Structure 1
Amino acid sequence: MPIQEDSSRVLEDLDAAAVDYAARVAAASDAERAVLRDRLTRVCLPFAGRMARRYRGRGEALEDLEQVARLGLIKAIDRYDPERGSFTAYAVITISGEIKRHFRDRTWGVHVPRRIQDLSLEVGHASMVLTTELSRTPTSAELAERLGVGEPAVREALESAAGYSPSSLNAPAGGEGTAEFGDLIGGADSDLELVDDRLTVAGLLLRLPPRERQMLAMRFYGNRTQAEIATELGISQMHVSRLLSRSLAWLREAMLSDGPPRWEGAGGPADAHGMRIAVDRAGGVLTVRVHGEVDRDTADRLRMSLRHAISSAAAGERLVIDLNAVPLVDAAGVSVLLDTASAAAAADMDLALTGAQPYVARILGVSGLQKAMDPRR
């Protein structure tokens, strides 16, 4: 079927026109090919215009969309191979792809994944169609059913559509002479003033013993109660309260001083075992001096030291346990001292507990060690 130049006799069957063009252009010269190409392009221009009008109302001028559609039409004509099927179907795919690429690459104000951009176009077109059919705005479920995609994908596309033409931060927020949108966004960040304090505290936390660091993390980062911390660590709630209070007091003092104060509790950096034990003999007295807390973590070490002291004691030698530097004794520590008292009695060895601080003395007194703490002995 020949291609006519007279617009009143334009071929309506684009497939037949394209097949005729392909047959003629194969044997034509370069000049003849250009003429044939122009003729087929003019025949197909109304078709490209209809394709462009499908995408109108999406923020782009119709004239620009028609130019993009015509560019896609020319690409379809140049790449068309009659052996691969219908020219019309091929042109629809090529022109649609060119228009979508234009929207994707030239019109979005912010970067959005290609998948979302393409779906956003389809959602926009389906929304217009369904609005006409239903006489109302379609729901996400109705759009998803029309497009054959999941409802979450439709919602994501609708939300991403806001990135197509973002508002300018320099746009006026109200009438003339008022503030701009950018002036209404953000504000002074009060947390910036805390940056130095946060960095200082982070460094000081590393100077605390591992157990105290763990407790602080569980309490203030894990939002755990003291009872929950005590259960997990196997100590009493009172012990947890004392350790937290002492750790916070040390951090407060360290924050206000030029250099960090010495950590007085067990487990400090200079005390890898959490407790120091010194043993000396003088005048028939074997003295065991304990420094640091006596709790579940240190009780076994103290037990071994006291057993060794009893087994190595000379006949008639007196055993004195100096608790002057012990700020706390928990149930595990009390058990060690009770076992020591029993072992000393079995070895017919006199035992005395000296220097106990008031809090420790009360614990030992109600535990049955009052006799060993009697200063008259």
Structure 2
Amino acid sequence: MTATSMHSHEGETEQATATRDIGIGHQGGELPCLEDLGKIAPRDARDLSKVFFGRLQELEEGTEEYQYARNTLIEMNLSLVHFAASRFRNRGSGDMEDIVQVGTIGLIKAIDRFDLSREVQFTSFAVLYIVGEIKRFFRDTTWAVHVPRRLQELRVQLARGKDELSTVLDRDPTVGELAEHLRLSEDEIIEGMIAANGYTAGSIDMPCDPGEPQLEGARTLADVLGDPDPAMETVENLRSLAPLLEDLDERERRIIEMRFGQEMTQSEIGAAIGVSQMHVSRILARTLVKLRSGMLA
């Protein structure tokens, strides 16, 4: 017997032994209770997975035996989830336990969709599903402000393009240079930059200088944020009111100036222009309606 045939024979013997030990050969049989599935060596897990996938094809979906075989496949291949999850350990957000749970969903999807007839190892097939599920988790949960997926992908393009151009130009690229490099319009570049601000959110209680230690009484971002200036609204209203005042006749402008500029009473205004207080009230009310309508328009 040649070395090649001996190796083939030994491989078949190991496969047959594993199949016989767990009692689920192609002729059927009882599905046993496997203990400590997580301790199975990766090579043994690959061999046993093939057996269980073959058994799944023979069992009716929804039966107790089918669920047992499916759950066993999940338990045996959890090491793939932990391997894939470890690649995302330093992403800065997302608890590792959450990442493993999300990766397990990807593993389950891979088990449900795997076909033994495909010329691909289950491990390669499963890792794609696991990593894809984890990436989707980060895409949907790590943004402080939800933005469309198109803008999330544009942010990645901008970051990559900025790094490439910064290396060549030895400075930060302009919007125009980024647009030319990425073959996008300048409006799209600006839109992506604005959307990128929604990736992270900072506390207004953080120190103004992140490099300095946060001492008691130190100035925070909240201390330097501006507040709306109520005087600005007054200025805008006066600028809007000026042309409307010019459209009033002389007596209406004079009454407005005495009432609001000199703060005279209606009786004092009436005495000054030689009319009754009641007449002043009617003129004032009519004029204010005219001004208010003009402001609202």
Larger radius of gyration: 1
The normalised TM-score by structure 2 is: 0.50
- Higher helix fraction: Structure 1 or Structure 2? 2
- Higher strand fraction: Structure 1 or Structure 2? 1
The normalised TM-score by structure 1 is: 0.41
Structure of higher RCO (CA pairs closer than 8 Å, 6+ residues apart) = 2
